[in-house]
Structure 1
Protein backbone atom coordinates (compact mmCIF):
# COMPACT_ATOMS: atom_id res chain seq x y z
CA UNK A 1 0.00 0.00 0.00
CA UNK A 2 2.83 2.38 0.85
CA UNK A 3 4.44 1.80 -2.53
CA UNK A 4 1.12 2.43 -4.34
CA UNK A 5 0.55 5.75 -2.56
CA UNK A 6 4.03 6.98 -3.31
CA UNK A 7 3.66 6.05 -6.96
CA UNK A 8 0.52 8.15 -7.18
CA UNK A 9 2.12 11.30 -5.82
CA UNK A 10 4.06 12.20 -9.00
CA UNK A 11 0.89 11.71 -11.05
CA UNK A 12 -1.12 14.04 -8.83
CA UNK A 13 1.68 16.59 -8.84
CA UNK A 14 1.90 16.52 -12.63
CA UNK A 15 -1.87 16.91 -12.95
CA UNK A 16 -1.80 19.95 -10.67
CA UNK A 17 1.08 21.58 -12.53
CA UNK A 18 -0.45 20.89 -15.92
CA UNK A 19 -3.80 22.34 -14.82
CA UNK A 20 -2.10 25.54 -13.68
CA UNK A 21 -0.15 25.89 -16.92
CA UNK A 22 -3.26 25.12 -18.96
CA UNK A 23 -5.20 27.84 -17.13
CA UNK A 24 -2.39 30.30 -17.79
CA UNK A 25 -2.40 29.50 -21.50
CA UNK A 26 -6.13 29.82 -21.92
CA UNK A 27 -6.59 32.90 -19.70
CA UNK A 28 -5.38 35.47 -22.26
CA UNK A 29 -8.10 34.49 -24.74
CA UNK A 30 -10.90 34.58 -22.16
CA UNK A 31 -12.53 38.05 -21.84
CA UNK A 32 -12.88 39.65 -18.43
CA UNK A 33 -16.35 39.36 -16.95
CA UNK A 34 -18.43 41.98 -15.21
CA UNK A 35 -18.59 41.78 -11.44
CA UNK A 36 -22.33 41.21 -11.67
CA UNK A 37 -21.77 37.87 -13.38
CA UNK A 38 -23.96 38.73 -16.36
CA UNK A 39 -21.28 37.75 -18.88
CA UNK A 40 -20.69 41.28 -20.14
CA UNK A 41 -16.98 41.99 -20.82
CA UNK A 42 -15.57 44.76 -18.67
CA UNK A 43 -14.02 47.47 -20.87
CA UNK A 44 -10.54 48.46 -19.83
CA UNK A 45 -9.11 51.98 -20.07
CA UNK A 46 -9.27 53.10 -23.69
CA UNK A 47 -5.82 54.66 -23.79
CA UNK A 48 -6.98 56.62 -26.82
CA UNK A 49 -5.22 59.93 -27.58
CA UNK A 50 -7.20 63.16 -27.36
CA UNK A 51 -5.07 65.80 -29.04
CA UNK A 52 -7.52 67.04 -31.66
CA UNK A 53 -5.35 65.54 -34.39
CA UNK A 54 -6.86 64.48 -37.71
CA UNK A 55 -9.34 65.88 -40.19
CA UNK A 56 -12.84 66.60 -38.88
CA UNK A 57 -15.57 65.59 -41.33
CA UNK A 58 -19.11 66.92 -41.59
CA UNK A 59 -20.29 63.63 -40.06
CA UNK A 60 -17.91 64.16 -37.11
CA UNK A 61 -19.34 67.63 -36.45
CA UNK A 62 -22.89 66.31 -36.71
CA UNK A 63 -22.07 63.58 -34.21
CA UNK A 64 -20.65 66.01 -31.64
CA UNK A 65 -23.76 68.17 -32.01
CA UNK A 66 -26.07 65.17 -31.60
CA UNK A 67 -24.35 64.12 -28.38
CA UNK A 68 -24.99 67.62 -27.04
CA UNK A 69 -28.64 67.51 -28.14
CA UNK A 70 -29.09 64.15 -26.40
CA UNK A 71 -28.02 65.66 -23.11
CA UNK A 72 -30.19 68.74 -23.56
CA UNK A 73 -33.38 66.70 -23.43
CA UNK A 74 -32.43 63.53 -21.56
CA UNK A 75 -31.16 65.39 -18.50
CA UNK A 76 -34.51 67.18 -17.95
CA UNK A 77 -36.35 63.95 -18.86
CA UNK A 78 -34.40 62.06 -16.21
CA UNK A 79 -35.06 64.78 -13.65
CA UNK A 80 -38.76 64.66 -14.54
CA UNK A 81 -38.79 60.89 -13.94
CA UNK A 82 -37.60 61.48 -10.38
CA UNK A 83 -40.42 63.97 -9.79
CA UNK A 84 -43.37 62.39 -11.61
CA UNK A 85 -43.01 58.61 -11.46
CA UNK A 86 -44.44 56.52 -8.63
CA UNK A 87 -42.33 53.51 -9.64
CA UNK A 88 -38.99 53.29 -7.77
CA UNK A 89 -37.44 51.54 -10.80
CA UNK A 90 -38.29 54.46 -13.11
CA UNK A 91 -37.09 56.97 -10.54
CA UNK A 92 -33.74 55.17 -10.26
CA UNK A 93 -33.39 54.88 -14.05
CA UNK A 94 -34.14 58.56 -14.54
CA UNK A 95 -31.66 59.57 -11.86
CA UNK A 96 -28.88 57.42 -13.35
CA UNK A 97 -29.45 58.59 -16.93
CA UNK A 98 -29.60 62.27 -15.98
CA UNK A 99 -26.40 62.05 -13.93
CA UNK A 100 -24.53 60.15 -16.63
CA UNK A 101 -25.59 62.62 -19.31
CA UNK A 102 -24.17 65.45 -17.23
CA UNK A 103 -20.81 63.66 -17.39
CA UNK A 104 -21.13 62.89 -21.11
CA UNK A 105 -22.19 66.48 -21.85
CA UNK A 106 -19.02 67.75 -20.17
CA UNK A 107 -16.93 65.44 -22.36
CA UNK A 108 -18.80 66.59 -25.45
CA UNK A 109 -18.41 70.30 -24.69
CA UNK A 110 -14.69 69.82 -24.09
CA UNK A 111 -14.34 68.03 -27.43
CA UNK A 112 -16.34 70.73 -29.24
CA UNK A 113 -14.18 73.48 -27.73
CA UNK A 114 -11.01 71.70 -28.80
CA UNK A 115 -12.29 71.25 -32.35
CA UNK A 116 -14.00 74.65 -32.70
CA UNK A 117 -17.51 73.21 -33.12
CA UNK A 118 -20.48 75.40 -32.15
CA UNK A 119 -23.03 73.56 -30.02
CA UNK A 120 -26.76 74.22 -29.55
CA UNK A 121 -28.18 75.28 -26.21
CA UNK A 122 -31.76 74.10 -26.77
CA UNK A 123 -33.24 70.69 -27.68
CA UNK A 124 -34.48 70.32 -31.25
CA UNK A 125 -38.20 70.41 -32.10
CA UNK A 126 -38.72 66.64 -31.77
CA UNK A 127 -37.01 66.55 -28.38
CA UNK A 128 -39.04 69.51 -27.14
CA UNK A 129 -42.22 67.69 -28.20
CA UNK A 130 -41.19 64.58 -26.23
CA UNK A 131 -40.48 66.69 -23.16
CA UNK A 132 -43.89 68.34 -23.52
CA UNK A 133 -45.49 64.89 -23.74
CA UNK A 134 -43.84 63.87 -20.49
CA UNK A 135 -44.63 67.14 -18.78
CA UNK A 136 -48.34 66.86 -19.61
CA UNK A 137 -48.64 63.14 -18.79
CA UNK A 138 -50.00 61.95 -15.47
CA UNK A 139 -47.99 59.56 -13.27
CA UNK A 140 -49.52 56.48 -14.92
CA UNK A 141 -48.87 57.65 -18.48
CA UNK A 142 -45.47 59.12 -17.76
CA UNK A 143 -43.55 55.90 -17.18
CA UNK A 144 -44.41 54.38 -20.56
CA UNK A 145 -43.74 57.61 -22.46
CA UNK A 146 -40.44 58.18 -20.67
CA UNK A 147 -39.14 54.66 -21.28
CA UNK A 148 -40.29 54.36 -24.89
CA UNK A 149 -39.11 57.79 -26.04
CA UNK A 150 -35.65 57.40 -24.53
CA UNK A 151 -35.25 53.79 -25.69
CA UNK A 152 -36.20 54.76 -29.27
CA UNK A 153 -33.80 57.71 -29.24
CA UNK A 154 -30.92 55.57 -27.99
CA UNK A 155 -31.68 52.99 -30.67
CA UNK A 156 -31.35 55.66 -33.36
CA UNK A 157 -28.04 57.10 -32.14
CA UNK A 158 -26.48 53.67 -31.59
CA UNK A 159 -25.68 52.93 -35.29
CA UNK A 160 -24.39 56.49 -35.77
CA UNK A 161 -21.88 55.97 -32.96
CA UNK A 162 -20.56 52.80 -34.61
CA UNK A 163 -20.13 54.60 -37.94
CA UNK A 164 -18.20 57.49 -36.41
CA UNK A 165 -16.12 55.25 -34.14
CA UNK A 166 -14.97 53.15 -37.08
CA UNK A 167 -14.48 55.91 -39.67
CA UNK A 168 -13.39 59.18 -38.04
CA UNK A 169 -9.88 60.47 -38.74
CA UNK A 170 -9.87 62.70 -35.65
CA UNK A 171 -8.57 61.30 -32.36
CA UNK A 172 -10.79 63.52 -30.15
CA UNK A 173 -13.95 62.50 -32.00
CA UNK A 174 -12.83 58.85 -31.82
CA UNK A 175 -12.41 59.02 -28.06
CA UNK A 176 -15.76 60.80 -27.65
CA UNK A 177 -17.46 58.11 -29.75
CA UNK A 178 -15.84 55.43 -27.58
CA UNK A 179 -17.20 57.02 -24.40
CA UNK A 180 -20.61 57.73 -25.93
CA UNK A 181 -20.97 54.11 -26.99
CA UNK A 182 -20.45 52.92 -23.41
CA UNK A 183 -22.96 55.46 -22.07
CA UNK A 184 -25.60 54.56 -24.66
CA UNK A 185 -25.23 50.83 -24.06
CA UNK A 186 -25.63 51.43 -20.33
CA UNK A 187 -28.72 53.60 -20.87
CA UNK A 188 -30.37 51.08 -23.19
CA UNK A 189 -29.82 48.37 -20.58
CA UNK A 190 -31.22 50.59 -17.82
CA UNK A 191 -34.31 51.44 -19.85
CA UNK A 192 -34.90 47.79 -20.77
CA UNK A 193 -34.55 46.78 -17.10
CA UNK A 194 -37.84 48.62 -16.48
CA UNK A 195 -39.65 45.71 -18.12
CA UNK A 196 -42.07 47.99 -19.98
CA UNK A 197 -40.23 48.76 -23.24
CA UNK A 198 -42.63 48.47 -26.18
CA UNK A 199 -40.34 46.54 -28.51
CA UNK A 200 -43.11 46.25 -31.08
CA UNK A 201 -42.93 49.99 -31.71
CA UNK A 202 -39.21 49.94 -32.49
CA UNK A 203 -38.24 50.20 -36.16
CA UNK A 204 -37.47 46.99 -38.01
CA UNK A 205 -33.86 46.59 -39.10
CA UNK A 206 -33.41 46.59 -42.89
CA UNK A 207 -32.69 43.25 -44.53
CA UNK A 208 -28.98 42.63 -45.15
CA UNK A 209 -27.79 43.35 -48.67
CA UNK A 210 -26.65 39.75 -49.20
CA UNK A 211 -29.82 38.12 -47.80
CA UNK A 212 -30.29 34.71 -49.42
CA UNK A 213 -27.09 35.06 -51.44
CA UNK A 214 -24.74 32.88 -49.45
CA UNK A 215 -22.30 33.62 -46.63
CA UNK A 216 -21.35 37.12 -45.56
CA UNK A 217 -18.30 38.31 -47.51
CA UNK A 218 -15.13 38.61 -45.44
CA UNK A 219 -12.95 41.67 -45.80
CA UNK A 220 -9.46 40.81 -47.07
CA UNK A 221 -7.78 43.27 -44.71
CA UNK A 222 -9.50 41.65 -41.73
CA UNK A 223 -8.17 38.24 -42.77
CA UNK A 224 -4.68 39.64 -43.20
CA UNK A 225 -4.77 41.28 -39.77
CA UNK A 226 -5.97 38.06 -38.16
CA UNK A 227 -3.36 35.90 -39.89
CA UNK A 228 -0.45 38.19 -38.96
CA UNK A 229 -1.60 38.87 -35.40
CA UNK A 230 0.73 36.28 -33.91
CA UNK A 231 3.69 37.18 -36.09
CA UNK A 232 3.37 33.86 -37.94
CA UNK A 233 1.60 34.21 -41.33
CA UNK A 234 -1.66 32.31 -41.51
CA UNK A 235 -1.73 31.40 -37.80
CA UNK A 236 -3.94 33.10 -35.22
CA UNK A 237 -2.77 33.60 -31.61
CA UNK A 238 -5.79 31.73 -30.24
CA UNK A 239 -5.04 28.72 -32.44
CA UNK A 240 -1.42 28.65 -31.22
CA UNK A 241 -2.52 28.68 -27.58
CA UNK A 242 -5.02 25.88 -28.13
CA UNK A 243 -2.40 23.76 -29.90
CA UNK A 244 0.01 24.29 -27.00
CA UNK A 245 -2.70 23.35 -24.52
CA UNK A 246 -3.49 20.11 -26.38
CA UNK A 247 0.21 19.24 -26.59
CA UNK A 248 0.58 19.85 -22.86
CA UNK A 249 -2.33 17.57 -22.01
CA UNK A 250 -0.96 14.85 -24.29
CA UNK A 251 2.44 15.10 -22.61
CA UNK A 252 0.90 14.82 -19.14
CA UNK A 253 -1.09 11.74 -20.10
CA UNK A 254 2.03 10.06 -21.51
CA UNK A 255 4.02 10.86 -18.35
CA UNK A 256 1.27 9.47 -16.11
CA UNK A 257 1.28 6.21 -18.07
CA UNK A 258 5.04 5.92 -17.57
CA UNK A 259 4.68 6.32 -13.80
CA UNK A 260 1.84 3.81 -13.67
CA UNK A 261 3.91 1.30 -15.62
CA UNK A 262 6.51 1.44 -12.84
Structure 2
Protein backbone atom coordinates (compact mmCIF):
# COMPACT_ATOMS: atom_id res chain seq x y z
CA UNK A 1 0.00 0.00 0.00
CA UNK A 2 2.80 2.39 0.91
CA UNK A 3 4.54 1.61 -2.39
CA UNK A 4 1.44 2.56 -4.38
CA UNK A 5 1.09 5.83 -2.45
CA UNK A 6 4.69 6.69 -3.19
CA UNK A 7 4.27 5.97 -6.90
CA UNK A 8 1.05 8.02 -6.99
CA UNK A 9 2.77 10.98 -5.31
CA UNK A 10 5.63 10.85 -7.79
CA UNK A 11 3.15 10.76 -10.68
CA UNK A 12 1.29 13.81 -9.33
CA UNK A 13 4.56 15.70 -8.90
CA UNK A 14 5.61 14.91 -12.47
CA UNK A 15 2.23 15.96 -13.82
CA UNK A 16 2.44 19.20 -11.86
CA UNK A 17 5.83 20.02 -13.33
CA UNK A 18 4.59 19.33 -16.84
CA UNK A 19 1.57 21.59 -16.35
CA UNK A 20 3.61 24.50 -14.99
CA UNK A 21 3.77 27.56 -17.27
CA UNK A 22 6.86 27.80 -19.44
CA UNK A 23 8.22 30.67 -17.36
CA UNK A 24 8.25 28.49 -14.25
CA UNK A 25 10.67 25.96 -15.73
CA UNK A 26 14.37 26.65 -15.97
CA UNK A 27 15.49 26.99 -19.58
CA UNK A 28 18.59 25.03 -20.50
CA UNK A 29 20.09 27.09 -23.33
CA UNK A 30 22.79 25.10 -25.12
CA UNK A 31 26.28 26.50 -25.64
CA UNK A 32 27.99 25.13 -28.76
CA UNK A 33 31.07 23.10 -27.75
CA UNK A 34 34.15 24.46 -29.51
CA UNK A 35 36.13 21.24 -29.14
CA UNK A 36 34.01 19.70 -31.90
CA UNK A 37 35.31 22.20 -34.48
CA UNK A 38 38.48 21.50 -36.48
CA UNK A 39 40.99 24.37 -36.72
CA UNK A 40 43.66 23.29 -39.22
CA UNK A 41 43.42 26.10 -41.76
CA UNK A 42 41.90 23.67 -44.22
CA UNK A 43 39.47 24.65 -46.94
CA UNK A 44 39.23 27.39 -49.52
CA UNK A 45 39.27 30.97 -48.25
CA UNK A 46 36.89 33.35 -50.00
CA UNK A 47 37.06 37.13 -50.22
CA UNK A 48 34.16 37.22 -47.74
CA UNK A 49 36.19 35.11 -45.29
CA UNK A 50 39.12 37.52 -45.45
CA UNK A 51 36.85 40.52 -45.06
CA UNK A 52 35.24 38.91 -42.02
CA UNK A 53 38.56 38.35 -40.25
CA UNK A 54 39.55 41.96 -40.94
CA UNK A 55 36.22 43.26 -39.60
CA UNK A 56 36.58 41.32 -36.36
CA UNK A 57 40.02 42.87 -35.92
CA UNK A 58 38.63 46.36 -36.65
CA UNK A 59 35.89 45.87 -34.04
CA UNK A 60 38.49 45.41 -31.33
CA UNK A 61 40.54 48.39 -32.49
CA UNK A 62 37.82 50.83 -31.47
CA UNK A 63 35.75 48.96 -28.87
CA UNK A 64 38.74 48.35 -26.60
CA UNK A 65 39.67 52.06 -26.35
CA UNK A 66 35.95 52.93 -26.07
CA UNK A 67 35.64 50.64 -23.05
CA UNK A 68 38.74 52.18 -21.53
CA UNK A 69 37.28 55.64 -22.12
CA UNK A 70 34.14 54.65 -20.23
CA UNK A 71 36.19 54.25 -17.05
CA UNK A 72 37.04 57.97 -17.07
CA UNK A 73 34.12 59.66 -18.80
CA UNK A 74 31.06 57.89 -17.40
CA UNK A 75 29.51 58.67 -14.02
CA UNK A 76 27.55 55.40 -14.07
CA UNK A 77 28.93 52.37 -12.26
CA UNK A 78 26.90 50.16 -14.59
CA UNK A 79 28.31 51.73 -17.76
CA UNK A 80 31.83 51.43 -16.39
CA UNK A 81 31.32 47.71 -15.73
CA UNK A 82 29.86 47.19 -19.20
CA UNK A 83 32.79 49.04 -20.78
CA UNK A 84 35.32 47.08 -18.76
CA UNK A 85 33.77 43.72 -19.64
CA UNK A 86 33.49 44.46 -23.36
CA UNK A 87 37.04 45.83 -23.56
CA UNK A 88 38.50 42.79 -21.78
CA UNK A 89 36.52 40.34 -23.90
CA UNK A 90 37.51 42.12 -27.11
CA UNK A 91 41.13 41.73 -26.08
CA UNK A 92 40.58 37.97 -25.95
CA UNK A 93 38.71 37.95 -29.26
CA UNK A 94 41.46 40.06 -30.84
CA UNK A 95 44.04 37.46 -29.87
CA UNK A 96 41.92 34.72 -31.45
CA UNK A 97 41.60 36.84 -34.58
CA UNK A 98 45.33 37.50 -34.86
CA UNK A 99 46.06 33.80 -34.42
CA UNK A 100 43.62 32.90 -37.20
CA UNK A 101 44.99 35.62 -39.49
CA UNK A 102 48.54 34.40 -38.99
CA UNK A 103 47.54 30.85 -39.84
CA UNK A 104 45.66 31.98 -42.96
CA UNK A 105 48.20 34.62 -44.06
CA UNK A 106 45.65 37.45 -43.81
CA UNK A 107 47.02 40.96 -43.32
CA UNK A 108 45.26 42.84 -40.53
CA UNK A 109 44.86 46.60 -39.96
CA UNK A 110 46.32 48.29 -36.89
CA UNK A 111 44.04 51.33 -36.75
CA UNK A 112 40.23 51.71 -36.71
CA UNK A 113 38.55 52.80 -39.93
CA UNK A 114 37.23 56.31 -40.55
CA UNK A 115 33.73 55.66 -39.16
CA UNK A 116 35.07 53.99 -36.03
CA UNK A 117 37.50 56.82 -35.40
CA UNK A 118 34.61 59.26 -35.73
CA UNK A 119 32.69 57.41 -33.02
CA UNK A 120 35.71 57.52 -30.74
CA UNK A 121 36.00 61.29 -31.38
CA UNK A 122 32.35 61.71 -30.37
CA UNK A 123 33.00 59.90 -27.10
CA UNK A 124 36.15 61.89 -26.47
CA UNK A 125 34.20 65.14 -26.68
CA UNK A 126 31.43 64.03 -24.30
CA UNK A 127 31.06 63.49 -20.56
CA UNK A 128 28.68 61.82 -18.11
CA UNK A 129 25.21 60.89 -19.41
CA UNK A 130 26.03 62.25 -22.87
CA UNK A 131 28.97 59.87 -23.08
CA UNK A 132 26.82 56.99 -21.86
CA UNK A 133 24.25 57.54 -24.61
CA UNK A 134 26.85 57.78 -27.37
CA UNK A 135 28.85 54.79 -26.08
CA UNK A 136 25.84 52.48 -25.77
CA UNK A 137 24.16 53.49 -29.03
CA UNK A 138 27.29 53.34 -31.18
CA UNK A 139 28.39 49.96 -29.87
CA UNK A 140 24.90 48.43 -30.01
CA UNK A 141 24.40 49.60 -33.60
CA UNK A 142 27.83 48.25 -34.63
CA UNK A 143 27.15 44.85 -33.05
CA UNK A 144 23.79 44.69 -34.80
CA UNK A 145 25.49 45.20 -38.17
CA UNK A 146 28.19 42.56 -37.76
CA UNK A 147 25.83 39.99 -36.22
CA UNK A 148 24.24 38.85 -39.54
CA UNK A 149 27.65 38.95 -41.25
CA UNK A 150 28.97 36.48 -38.69
CA UNK A 151 25.98 34.19 -39.27
CA UNK A 152 26.55 34.20 -43.03
CA UNK A 153 30.23 33.28 -42.66
CA UNK A 154 29.53 30.62 -40.03
CA UNK A 155 26.94 29.01 -42.30
CA UNK A 156 28.80 29.19 -45.59
CA UNK A 157 32.58 29.28 -45.16
CA UNK A 158 34.62 26.39 -46.53
CA UNK A 159 37.58 27.04 -44.23
CA UNK A 160 37.66 25.36 -40.84
CA UNK A 161 39.69 28.11 -39.09
CA UNK A 162 37.32 30.82 -40.30
CA UNK A 163 34.38 28.65 -39.25
CA UNK A 164 35.70 28.36 -35.71
CA UNK A 165 36.51 32.07 -35.47
CA UNK A 166 33.00 32.90 -36.67
CA UNK A 167 31.49 30.71 -33.97
CA UNK A 168 33.69 32.29 -31.30
CA UNK A 169 32.92 35.81 -32.54
CA UNK A 170 29.22 35.00 -32.49
CA UNK A 171 29.39 34.15 -28.78
CA UNK A 172 31.25 37.38 -28.01
CA UNK A 173 28.85 39.54 -30.02
CA UNK A 174 25.73 38.07 -28.43
CA UNK A 175 27.25 38.63 -24.99
CA UNK A 176 28.14 42.23 -25.82
CA UNK A 177 24.68 42.99 -27.19
CA UNK A 178 23.16 41.65 -23.98
CA UNK A 179 25.53 43.70 -21.81
CA UNK A 180 24.80 46.88 -23.77
CA UNK A 181 21.05 46.32 -23.57
CA UNK A 182 21.30 45.81 -19.81
CA UNK A 183 22.10 49.53 -19.53
CA UNK A 184 18.42 50.22 -20.33
CA UNK A 185 19.37 53.21 -22.48
CA UNK A 186 19.53 51.56 -25.91
CA UNK A 187 17.55 53.61 -28.43
CA UNK A 188 15.79 50.73 -30.18
CA UNK A 189 13.85 53.11 -32.41
CA UNK A 190 17.14 54.28 -33.94
CA UNK A 191 18.21 50.75 -34.91
CA UNK A 192 17.86 49.77 -38.59
CA UNK A 193 14.46 48.33 -39.43
CA UNK A 194 14.50 44.64 -40.31
CA UNK A 195 13.47 44.31 -43.98
CA UNK A 196 10.25 42.41 -44.70
CA UNK A 197 10.61 38.79 -45.81
CA UNK A 198 11.09 38.30 -49.53
CA UNK A 199 8.12 37.06 -51.51
CA UNK A 200 8.19 33.44 -52.59
CA UNK A 201 9.77 33.05 -56.01
CA UNK A 202 7.89 29.89 -56.93
CA UNK A 203 4.59 28.36 -56.01
CA UNK A 204 3.34 24.83 -56.18
CA UNK A 205 0.43 24.41 -58.60
CA UNK A 206 -2.89 24.89 -56.83
CA UNK A 207 -4.68 21.60 -56.24
CA UNK A 208 -1.85 19.77 -57.97
CA UNK A 209 -3.09 16.38 -56.83
CA UNK A 210 -6.70 16.91 -57.91
CA UNK A 211 -7.62 15.54 -61.34
CA UNK A 212 -9.36 17.79 -63.81
CA UNK A 213 -12.88 17.03 -64.95
CA UNK A 214 -11.68 15.52 -68.21
CA UNK A 215 -8.92 13.47 -66.51
CA UNK A 216 -11.35 11.97 -64.00
CA UNK A 217 -13.88 10.97 -66.66
CA UNK A 218 -16.44 13.56 -65.51
CA UNK A 219 -16.06 15.90 -68.43
CA UNK A 220 -17.73 16.08 -71.85
CA UNK A 221 -20.74 14.03 -72.87
CA UNK A 222 -20.23 11.36 -70.17
CA UNK A 223 -21.39 13.64 -67.36
CA UNK A 224 -25.20 13.12 -67.69
CA UNK A 225 -24.77 9.36 -67.94
CA UNK A 226 -22.57 9.22 -64.84
CA UNK A 227 -24.95 11.41 -62.84
CA UNK A 228 -27.89 9.17 -63.80
CA UNK A 229 -25.96 6.08 -62.71
CA UNK A 230 -25.06 7.71 -59.43
CA UNK A 231 -28.67 8.62 -58.72
CA UNK A 232 -29.81 5.07 -59.52
CA UNK A 233 -27.19 3.63 -57.17
CA UNK A 234 -28.32 5.87 -54.33
CA UNK A 235 -31.95 4.83 -54.84
CA UNK A 236 -31.05 1.16 -54.71
CA UNK A 237 -29.03 1.74 -51.58
CA UNK A 238 -31.92 3.46 -49.81
CA UNK A 239 -34.33 0.67 -50.64
CA UNK A 240 -31.94 -2.03 -49.53
CA UNK A 241 -31.22 -0.28 -46.25
CA UNK A 242 -34.93 0.13 -45.51
CA UNK A 243 -35.56 -3.57 -46.19
CA UNK A 244 -32.77 -4.61 -43.83
CA UNK A 245 -34.21 -2.48 -41.03
CA UNK A 246 -37.68 -3.95 -41.54
CA UNK A 247 -36.36 -7.52 -41.40
CA UNK A 248 -34.40 -6.86 -38.18
CA UNK A 249 -37.21 -5.15 -36.23
CA UNK A 250 -39.25 -8.29 -35.13
CA UNK A 251 -36.19 -10.11 -33.87
CA UNK A 252 -35.22 -7.12 -31.74
CA UNK A 253 -38.74 -6.91 -30.26
CA UNK A 254 -38.88 -10.59 -29.50
CA UNK A 255 -35.55 -10.53 -27.67
CA UNK A 256 -36.69 -7.54 -25.59
CA UNK A 257 -40.00 -9.34 -24.76
CA UNK A 258 -38.22 -12.46 -23.61
CA UNK A 259 -35.89 -10.37 -21.40
CA UNK A 260 -38.71 -8.73 -19.50
CA UNK A 261 -40.69 -11.99 -19.28
CA UNK A 262 -37.84 -13.72 -17.51
TM-score (norm. length: structure 1):
0.68
Q: Establish whether residue 60 from structure 1 lines up as the match of residue 49 from structure 2.
A: yes
The answer for the alignment partner of 2:107 in structure 1 is: 118
Higher relative contact order (CA 8 A, sep 6+): 1
The answer for the alignment partner of 1:82 in structure 2 is: 71
SS at match of 2:34: coil
Q: Establish whether residue 10 from structure 1 lines up as the match of residue 6 from structure 2.
A: no
The answer for the alignment partner of 2:178 in structure 1 is: 189
Q: What is the aligned length?
A: 193
Deviation of 1:167 (Å): 0.3
Q: Which runs of 5+ in 1 are unaligned?
A: 1-7, 27-36, 215-262
Compared with structure 1, are the counterparts of its residues 38 and 130 closer, same or farther at alpha carbon in structure 2 (3 Å cutoff)? farther
Deviation of 1:138 (Å): 2.1
- Of 111, 125, 135, the match for 2:124: 135
Task: Write the mapping of 1:35-114 to structure 2, written as runs, cut at 5 A.
Answer: 39=27, 41-47=29-35, 48-114=37-103
Q: Establish whether residue 180 from structure 1 lines up as the match of residue 169 from structure 2.
A: yes
Distance (Å, rounded) in 2 between the aligned partners of 1:198 and 1:18 = 49
- Aligned CA RMSD, in angstroms, stands at 2.5
Deviation of 1:9 (Å): 2.6
Q: Establish whether residue 200 from structure 1 lines up as the match of residue 193 from structure 2.
A: no
Deviation per residue, 1:155-203 (Å, 9 max, x gap): 0000000000000011100100000000000000000000000111000
TM-score (norm. length: structure 2):
0.68
Q: Establish whether residue 159 from structure 1 lines up as the match of residue 148 from structure 2.
A: yes
SS at match of 2:101: helix
Deviation of 1:141 (Å): 1.0
Quick check: which has more Rg, 1 or 2? Answer: 2
Distance (Å, rounded) in 2 between the aligned partners of 1:63 and 1:111 = 11
